[in-house]
């Protein structure tokens, strides 16, 4: 067994590349509750670098993921008791640069890890060792699996009840989590229909196995579904909300299952919602023996590690495409540095991304050698 290395006593650790960890860092902080991310969030230039406790890792973030719900978090919609200022960002990938005594039993300095924990929009984040996921290397593709991939995998497995030959409709199919719903439904030998907003996205969806793409900017989704799938669809993986929810509900087959993983169309509204025709819901469900079920990843954490290990193996075998969008095609170019998180959130809400939006945090090594 490896000897345990106690680095918890020192305020100034050395990282594995021979450069010292600074005493201050940049991070994003919610300073005012608002669904307008730019209004809610402030870039702090000189926050103290946190110290890991006994069971913690100090992770230098290299890639952080953008999620639609970042603006739900900045609006205070998840926990009304939390008041600003508070840290933001849900997931990161980076290297361990320091760790506490207990944590050093399982981790070492220089190790690549991923994690899901509030506070990833920072140069350094303290992560409890038990919440970290060891990785073979620091790659942005691994980040796509942490929230987006796990949401698709667990929701379809637990709530989708997929059978071979069933028809599965994925809304916002070319997005961060939609890309995985498409691929996992195909692996279950289903017929997959994906909605998207451009022909370029449609091309990407076909490349990952989507059987029928519907560009809702040029085609009428309702008409296409009625004409091509008169019996309805068996499962809907729905993340848009509003009119798309109503449309998906109407398209369900007998015993159809509609899984709600989000409703991004409403997140920018003060209420966080877009109106749906809810008064018709009981009659529509009864008429088809159909169901609507919600999925929130936090309620499935007992199965999370299993899901992630399964997805990591699939990716490493080459059975899963993990599409990353660094914003190279955005007006101001690639999302680099914490300053660009604001642009990345805007880019997501403009519906421009293909795959998971990731921001790179470059690290310059000031070697003392």
Say yes or no: 288 and 151 in one domain.
Answer: yes
pTM, rounded to two decimals: 0.93
In angstroms, the first-to-last Cα distance of the chain is: 31
At residue 9, the 3 state secondary structure works out as coil
pLDDT tens, 41-88?
999 999 999 988 889 999 999 999 999 999 999 999 998 899 999 999
Residue 103 CA, chain-centre distance (Å), reads 26
Domain carrying residue 229: 146-299
For residue range 106-134, what is the model confidence (pLDDT) as tens digits? 998 889 999 999 999 999 999 999 999 99
Query: Is 198 found in the same domain as 104?
Result: no
- pLDDT tens digits, one per residue of 318-362: 999 999 999 999 999 999 999 999 999 999 999 999 999 999 999
- Segment among 89-93, 148-152, 271-275, 316-320 with least mean pLDDT: 271-275
Using the predicted structure, report yes or no on whether residue 238 has a pLDDT greater than 80: yes
**Average pLDDT for residues 303-314, to the nearest whole number?**
96
Q: Is the pLDDT of residue 18 over 70?
A: no
Whether residue 151 is found in the same domain as residue 116? no
Q: Looking at residue 288, which CATH number applies to its domain?
A: 3.40.50.720
Same domain, 292 and 167: yes
H or E stretch at 259: strand 252-260
Which among 284, 299, 314 is the end of a domain? 299
What pLDDT shows up at residue 19?
53
What CATH number does the domain containing 50 carry? Answer: 3.90.180.10
Helix segments in the chain, DSSP class H:
37-40, 70-74, 140-144, 150-155, 178-187, 199-207, 221-228, 243-250, 281-288, 304-317, 341-349
pLDDT of 23 reads 85
- Contact by Cβ (8 Å): 249, 281: yes
Under 8 Å between Cβ of 172 and 178 = yes
Give the count of domains, the chain.
2
- Give the 3-state secondary structure of residue 158: helix
Q: Which long-range contacts (CB under 8 A, 24 or more apart) does 10-14 make?
A: 11/51, 13/58, 13/97, 13/98
Does residue 16 form part of some domain? no
Q: Are residues 78 and 180 in the same domain?
A: no
Rounded to 5 degrees, what are φ and ψ at 255? 60, 25
Which residue in 147, 134, 184, 170 sits closest to 298, CA to CA? 147
Specify whether 106 is located in the same domain as 161: no
Q: Is the pLDDT of residue 4 over 70?
A: no
Would you state the pLDDT for residue 14? 43
Specify the pLDDT at position 162: 98
pLDDT at 17: 46
- How many other CB atoms are found less than 10 A from the CB of residue 191? 18
């Amino acid at each position: 067994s490896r000897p345990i290395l106690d680095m918890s006593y020192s305020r100034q650790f050395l990282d594995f590349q021979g450069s010292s960890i600074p005493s201050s860092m940049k991070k994003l902080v919610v300073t005012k509750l608002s669904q307008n991310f730019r209004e809610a969030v402030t870039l702090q230039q000189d926050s103290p670098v946190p110290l890991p406790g006994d069971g913690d890792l100090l992770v230098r973030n290299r890639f952080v993921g953008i999620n639609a719900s970042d603006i739900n978090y900045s609006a205070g919609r998840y926990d009304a008791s939390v008041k600003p200022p508070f840290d933001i960002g849900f997931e990161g990938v980076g290297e361990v640069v320091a760790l506490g005594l207990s944590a050093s039993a399982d981790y070492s300095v220089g190790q690549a890890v991923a994690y899901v924990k509030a506070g990833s929009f920072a140069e350094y984040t303290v992560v409890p060792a038990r919440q970290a996921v060891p990785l073979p290397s620091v790659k942005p593709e691994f980040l796509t699996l942490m929230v987006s991939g796990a949401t698709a995998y667990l929701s379809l497995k637990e709530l989708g009840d997929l059978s071979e030959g069933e028809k599965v409709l994925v809304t916002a199919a070319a997005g961060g989590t939609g890309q995985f719903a498409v691929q996992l439904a195909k692996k279950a030998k289903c017929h997959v229909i994906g909605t998207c907003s451009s022909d370029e996205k449609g091309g990407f969806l076909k490349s990952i196995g989507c059987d029928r793409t519907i560009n809702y900017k040029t085609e009428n989704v309702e008409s296409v579904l009625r004409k091509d799938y008169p019996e309805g669809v068996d499962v809907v993986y729905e993340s848009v909300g509003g009119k798309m929810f109503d449309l998906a509900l109407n398209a369900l087959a007998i015993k159809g299952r509609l899984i709600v993983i989000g409703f991004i169309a409403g997140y920018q509204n003060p209420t966080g919602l877009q109106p749906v025709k809810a008064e018709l819901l009981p009659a529509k469900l009864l008429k088809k023996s159909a169901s609507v079920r919600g999925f929130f990843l936090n309620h499935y954490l007992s199965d999370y590690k299993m899901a992630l290990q399964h997805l990591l193996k699939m990716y490493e075998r080459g059975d899963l495409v993990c599409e990353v969008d660094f914003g190279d095609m955005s007006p101001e170019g690639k999302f680099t540095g914490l300053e660009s998180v604001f642009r990345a959130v805007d880019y997501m809400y403009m519906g421009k991304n293909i795959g998971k939006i990731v921001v790179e945090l470059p690290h310059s090594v000031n070697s003392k050698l």
